[in-house]
């Protein structure tokens, strides 16, 4: 059992470097819930599927802990994600797409997301894969719409 846990730890230790590459941020001038509602509406309006909306601050509150407002939207479009996973199944570690909407220590609201170019760190995904540019464009458009509300 200990060997399995150690092996899992070794495998998981390699994930943050790939998963946590460049983070792109967009400033918003409304509270987290409003920005998240606008993001979800933009995603759904674009025809993508919302898989989950995670309220991190609500989770913290449920265990009597404090956390600044923070919500995560997990969404995707199989027409974009499936080709990436066909090229390298480990793309599923970064897909579906995720956008974190949070309030920083100064009360400023931000939308943050990983650059889909991080997928090129995977062996089977070419730097010029067309779905990467499409994902980048979609994230820029969706976060811009939510920030501008």
Residues contacting 69, CB < 8 A, separation 6+: 31, 32, 33, 57, 102, 103, 109
pLDDT level of residue 3 (50, 70, 90 thresholds): very low
- pLDDT tens for 99-130 read 999 999 999 999 999 999 999 999 999 999 99
CA distance 77 to 97: 9
pLDDT level of residue 22 (50, 70, 90 thresholds): confident
Instruction: Say which DSSP state 25 is in.
Output: E
Per-residue model confidence (pLDDT) at position 60: 96
130-148 and 78-87 are packed helices; what angle lies between their axes, rounded to 10 degrees?
140
125: three-class secondary structure by DSSP: coil
Instruction: Say which DSSP state 122 is in.
Output: S
Residue 90 has pLDDT above 90, yes or no: yes
* pTM of the predicted model as reported, rounded to 2 decimal places: 0.85
- Specify which residues 49 forms β-bridges with: 76
Per-residue model confidence (pLDDT) at position 20: 54
Closest alpha carbon to 146 in 17, 24, 8, 31 = 31
* Average per-residue pLDDT for the chain: 89
Report the CATH number of the 23-147 domain.
3.30.310.70
Give the Å distances, CA to CA, from 106 to 30, 32, 70, 101, 149: 13, 13, 14, 14, 21
32: three-class secondary structure by DSSP: helix
């Amino acid at each position: 059992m200990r060997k399995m846990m150690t092996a899992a730890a070794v495998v998981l230790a390699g994930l943050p470097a790939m998963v946590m590459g460049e983070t792109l941020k967009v400033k918003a001038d409304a509270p987290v819930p409003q920005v998240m509602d606008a993001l979800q509406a933009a995603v759904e309006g674009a025809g993508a599927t919302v898989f989950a909306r995670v309220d991190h601050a609500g989770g913290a509150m449920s265990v009597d802990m404090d956390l600044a407002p923070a919500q995560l939207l997990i969404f995707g479009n199989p027409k974009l994600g499936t080709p990436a996973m066909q090229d390298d199944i480990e793309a599923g570690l970064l897909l579906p797409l995720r956008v974190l909407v949070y309030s920083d220590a100064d009360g400023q609201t931000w939308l943050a997301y990983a650059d889909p170019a991080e997928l090129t760190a995977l062996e089977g995904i070419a730097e010029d894969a067309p779905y990467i540019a499409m994902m980048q464009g979609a994230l820029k458009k969706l976060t811009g719409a939510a920030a501008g509300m």
